[in-house]
Structure 1
């Protein structure tokens, strides 16, 4: 006969009161390594550094690359195939306060500011894919990360002398643990690990698509400015509106601008930009369920932004110039193949994700991603409802833009009719077909 066992509550109390205590340990090295496996996209370190800079209200981001030229024929102007010793990300945003210093050394404690993109508190740790001893210098202080016993992470912070302080900037300093080879020219060589400068320029230019504050990015190699790109907006119209988009979102205003992306001593491109301001209306119970996951509340106002080509882009000479431009062509949410345009828009959550929009427009809003920030979260029962409602609202706005486009085409007899309509020729979205 089986003896009657204690209830689970009684058993728990018995073990707690009479058992031997043993603390749960965390192997921080293995935890970070496993996190890095999820943050394995190209240029993910730069994405995190720039997103953090934008969240800190920076208007300028400088990427400094320090190279060893000893294998480079002693030509100080030729950086091709040189070894990268160190990378620094510098911004002119808010310097660290005490809360920032505490948060950056705490895994999974994301930014509690409801208006910033950072949510999970793990993105910064992608720097360990590049460096074993990263440092942060901000204002009066510098903080260094140190591995102890191979598995525990410790930090040291020191107030610097006045001569060493940087009162107007924050720098993330990454001495490279693996010497990457810098490739500045197109090549068929498969060198690993390497950093392709042309691809990096293209990526950093596309980063500017929806940054809130950063409007200029510079790349320096051995203190020489080798690339500089900026963006500026030209306002067209702003309309105050009051209408319901979906259950959660009420339209407040609709602003149309042009965004001009300009490479210093290079090419430029102008794209149409729509900014829709919406009020969030959700009940408190739903809000608390989201807060339980994100550990912060949703904002009361969100923006839905859309970026798409202007008519002028399709003038033959300009189109040929742009599509042959290795840097600017990736900004255009259209591809041209076999004399046909096809949509290639992306969803941006701060910076770009892997998720396509299925139309010829890039889209940014307060969508909630999976932890690695590459895909939308459609698994959590409450976050998926938020994302789905927001996607439906975006669809309503695109329908409005489409209707206005048709009216303009009819009134102006546009010669680019078929091309403009290609923005709206829907394709299956990837990787998630449900988007």
Structure 2
């Protein structure tokens, strides 16, 4: 499988097990941090880039990026607000309903969420009459949560923060860490923080993208510097144990192209793992992800996606067709930078988040406008960057068919689809 020199790999230490024996996984070049959208003034300034080359630990098999960026710089003011996705808010509501039943929550129960963003999830806890506390490092999105009536602490989760939350609010019947377990370089410390907050008979729920699905569906654009690690269920189980938690159950959920929802409890409870855990671990082993060699081959799949997308955009430009983007997610910036797509091939993109309007995508410097710009310009093609919301966005953009436009989804393979119906068309 692809590897770098021993001298280079030996400078990188596995953040879970401490091994210095790591191999290359896929090399996506060098890109800027994916959520650092540029202002017009910043276009004339230098823009730092960092290698985007995750490795796999030959000892514990955790796929990980070196900690090249400081979370303090990225998350102090954050461009991502979860509530701008209607389907994501609904996903959170359904989760709260199911978790209430699983954990036996009631009016006196405390639910704590680490990386609670703008209160997209805990607002449902509050609406159900339960106590809620968010722990959110980004001041701007935490302020949005408080405006919704969700008590939110501005802090990164650590063992000390977890102990302070427990001291002030009491032990939590449920601790949630959805779509954050990949975002923290100190896996062990973060997990210890989760354990510090949860009651000795409580539950911890962690939702994180599944490496097995990432590889099968070629979701390379979900690799970016904010995602420090990429989990199989096997490596997630090891990470949970590092902080005193034991994996007891797992659900496969469709979010972010395919995620695992890990249910854990304090290790001292001695709760056994469910059959679902055994089944997913067996599926990973069948795919070879219980070995270093089983992680090979992904780089070639990624190259084919790049070649197909760039070829389509060049042929569209040669034919005089207009192409714009929809969405400005972090994953989109990995795709745009790796493929070398700039305004000559993608005139602009649009996003529902007003924070991004008037800014530019990092690295590729593509302008970001409000969604109404598409209606005014009536482009021939709309390249959808948040492909994980395919059903929602295909319905939202049904009116693009009114002028004969089509939608383009680049992953897992290039598809041109009819707005509204989602019927696959000839490119």
Q: Same fold (TM over 0.5)?
A: no
More strand by share: 1
Give TM-score scaled by structure 1 length.
0.29
Q: RCO greater where, 1 or 2, for CA within 8 Å and sep 6 or more?
A: 2
Give TM-score scaled by structure 2 length.
0.29
Larger radius of gyration: 1
More helix by share: 2
